[in-house]
Amino acid sequence: MKLRLILGDQLSHNISSLSDVDTQNDIILMCEVRSEATYVKHHKKKIAFIFSAMRHFAAELAEQGLNLRYVRYDDPDNAGSLSGEVARAVGKHEIDEVIVTTPSEYRLSDDMSRWAQALNVHVSIRSDDRFLSSASDFAAWADGRKQLRMEFFYREMRRRYSILMDQDGPIGGQWNYDAENRKPPSNGLDVPTTYRAYPDAITQEVMDLVGTHFADHFGDLTPFHFAVTRDQAIVAFEEFIARRLKMFGDYQDAMIQGEPWMFHSHIGLYLNCGLLEPLECIQRAEAAYHNGTAPLNAVEGFIRQILGWREYVRGIYWLKMPDYKTVNFFDAQRSLPEFYWTADTQMNCMRQCITETKQNAYAHHIQRLMVLGNFALIAGLDPDEVNNWYMLVYADAYEWVELPNVTGMILFADGGLLGSKPYAASGAYINKMSNYCRSCKYKPTVKNGPTACPFNYLYWDFIARNEGKLRGNPRMGFVYKSLDRMSDEKRDAIQADTRRFFSAIETNEKV
């Protein structure tokens, strides 16, 4: 008899661990366990989402006639860990083989490599073929390259999967329409509402459980509107295609106060737990271009995120783990300020993005990158603490995708493997791409003093603080030229403002 373990982010009917299932004899094991729910203190909505999606998926498998062993979180005999639950199942049934698809995270994959010996049972770990580039494909692509730039990887993926191609070249003559994806928000922009599911009895039961057992975790549990089945996730995605994709390109980088979802798709959480598949989403978006639903800059921009960035960061993760978890190029040591948890800050951009993160377990890319991430970079926050925060606050967060985005993309803690220069910016960028500054105590145009936008002086302090590590970067030349032209008085003012700001954070004063 075979025991087939399905993890909480493996909710795909075509997962490799089920490929040759024997409906009569095999047992499918799924378990809600303390170790997975608390190795970081996940947002309440994320746990409710995973547990509800797991229960719905188990019900679908049971309907197909499979034998389910589903262990609920509040089962009094719950062993509290995946290995403990596998051991319990092996002890109870005549199991001659445990079959599982490779976990998405190094932590669990490493642990699993010891199960066979520890549990004295044959464990088969199958490859996860839901990604479009395997770890070995990526390693082959990376081999011998000096720089691992996403753009070149993406072009190969476009060719390999024949996406938006016109014979050998890209449709439209350009591979990348990024330059057309940077419109600032315009007044009166009509942002469609996002998909909303309503909790059924299963979700309601899970929400009660999360409210009881995870009350001290970050985030709001209600209202809960995520899709929890594949059918619902498809509806959510189709709504995106019909209502938002056409504007996705133009406003990809725009932020508007009170509009957490903008023209993004909100499918990251469904892709990452297996309810949606990357290729089907890419092909559906490509079809929307061919049938005239959306323009090329929008469709290419969206496809680049999934076929390019998503696969690329996963490749980097498996190429560089476990060392990637400990890199700290700038030797950044500052603790995460309390306002990342409470949103209690006068910096309106930070307050909005953290409040929305707390409410929705979601922030869109440019909020994560240019507001929350930019602050973490220029304030010199400790990569471990920043990674912990990003891992637990977002419903789509798993280490394989979170870590390269945080360590590589926002913190430049890998010294430039993922990006050619740090994404550091002053308040001018946020002012251009959002309307947050209009309702802020600080002024984006003021550079120093109590009313100055903290991003302004923190930016220059970051540049000066890390001169030894960044001056030689060819893409930073013009920045250091500006620094060289700065008067001593100006430099002193930047340093004084930065010192005052950091000391206020350290004493928990409101900044």
Count of CB atoms situated within 10 Å of the CB of 159: 13
The answer to whether the CB of 229 falls within 8 A of the CB of 197 is no
Interface with ligand DLZ includes 271 (CB under 6 A)?
A: no
Interface with ligand FAD includes 104 (CB under 6 A)?
A: no
Q: Please pick, from the candidates 95, 453, 505, 511, the single residue that binds ligand SF4 as defined by CB under 6 A.
A: 453
Window 357-386: residues binding ligand FAD (CB under 6 A)? 364-365, 368-369, 373
Count of CB atoms situated within 10 Å of the CB of 198: 9
Interface with ligand FAD includes 250 (CB under 6 A)?
A: no
- Torsion, Cα 403 314 196 297, to 10 degrees, reads 110
Interface with ligand DLZ includes 32 (CB under 6 A)?
A: yes
- Backbone dihedral angles phi then psi of residue 382, each to the nearest 5 degrees: -60, 120
Token pair, residue 61, equals 């498998």
Task: Write the CA distances from 372 to 168, 171, 389, integer angstroms.
Answer: 40, 35, 11
Q: Which is nearer to ligand FAD, 101 or 265 (CB)?
A: 265
Q: Which is nearer to ligand DLZ, 104 or 265 (CB)?
A: 104
Window 427-446: residues binding ligand SF4 (CB under 6 A)? 427, 430-431, 436-437, 440, 442, 444
Window 454-493: residues binding ligand SF4 (CB under 6 A)? 454-455
Interface segment toward ligand FAD; rule CB under 6 A; list 72-80, 130-138, 227-235, 400-408:
400-408
Tell the smallest beta-carbon distance from residue 24 to ligand FAD (Å).
Answer: 37
Task: Write the CA distances from 405 to 14, 169, 261, 369, 413, integer angstroms.
Answer: 28, 29, 20, 9, 11
Count of CB atoms situated within 10 Å of the CB of 265: 25
Q: Please pick, from the candidates 272, 297, 387, 431, the single residue that binds ligand FAD as defined by CB under 6 A.
A: 272
Partner whose binding site includes residue 437, from ligand FAD, ligand SF4, ligand DLZ, none (CB under 5 to 8 Å by kind)? ligand SF4
Q: Which residues contact 81 (CB under 8 A, 6 or more apart)?
A: 33, 34, 35
The answer to whether the CB of 28 falls within 8 A of the CB of 61 is yes
Tell the smallest beta-carbon distance from residue 38 to ligand DLZ (Å).
Answer: 8
Q: Please pick, from the candidates 18, 48, 61, 108, the single residue that binds ligand DLZ as defined by CB under 6 A.
A: 108
Residue with tokens 């969206």: 302
Tell the smallest beta-carbon distance from residue 372 to ligand FAD (Å).
Answer: 7
Q: Please pick, from the candidates 170, 268, 337, 427, the single residue that binds ligand FAD as defined by CB under 6 A.
A: 268
Q: Please pick, from the candidates 37, 366, 370, 386, the single residue that binds ligand DLZ as defined by CB under 6 A.
A: 37
Q: Which residues contact 26 (CB under 8 A, 6 or more apart)?
A: 1, 2, 3, 4, 66, 67
The answer to whether the CB of 446 falls within 8 A of the CB of 453 is yes
Interface with ligand FAD includes 317 (CB under 6 A)?
A: no
* Distance, CA of 110 to chain centre: 22
Interface with ligand DLZ includes 28 (CB under 6 A)?
A: no
Partner whose binding site includes residue 401, from ligand SF4, ligand DLZ, ligand FAD, none (CB under 5 to 8 Å by kind)? ligand FAD
Interface segment toward ligand SF4; rule CB under 6 A; list 36-44, 341-349, 355-363, 378-386:
341-349
Q: Which residues are bridge partners to 97 per DSSP?
A: 2, 122
Partner whose binding site includes residue 427, from ligand SF4, ligand DLZ, ligand FAD, none (CB under 5 to 8 Å by kind)? ligand SF4
Interface with ligand FAD includes 324 (CB under 6 A)?
A: no
Residue with tokens 């996940």: 42
Q: Which is nearer to ligand FAD, 44 or 447 (CB)?
A: 44
Window 409-428: residues binding ligand FAD (CB under 6 A)? 409-410
Q: Which residues contact 341 (CB under 8 A, 6 or more apart)?
A: 218
The answer to whether the CB of 3 falls within 8 A of the CB of 26 is yes
SS (H, E, C) 112-148: HCCHHHHHCCEEEEECCCCCCCCHHHHHHHHCCCCCC
Window 380-409: residues binding ligand DLZ (CB under 6 A)? 398
Tell the smallest beta-carbon distance from residue 269 to ligand DLZ (Å).
Answer: 10
At position 412, the amino acid (one-letter code) is F
Q: Given its phi and psi angles, is residue 492 left (phi above 0), alpha (psi -120 to 50 degrees) or beta?
A: alpha
Interface with ligand FAD includes 356 (CB under 6 A)?
A: no
Tell the smallest beta-carbon distance from residue 374 to ligand FAD (Å).
Answer: 10
Tell the smallest beta-carbon distance from residue 65 to ligand FAD (Å).
Answer: 33
Binding site for ligand FAD (CB under 6 A): 264-268, 271-272, 305-306, 309-310, 313, 364-365, 368-369, 373, 390, 394, 396-397, 401-402, 405-406, 409-410
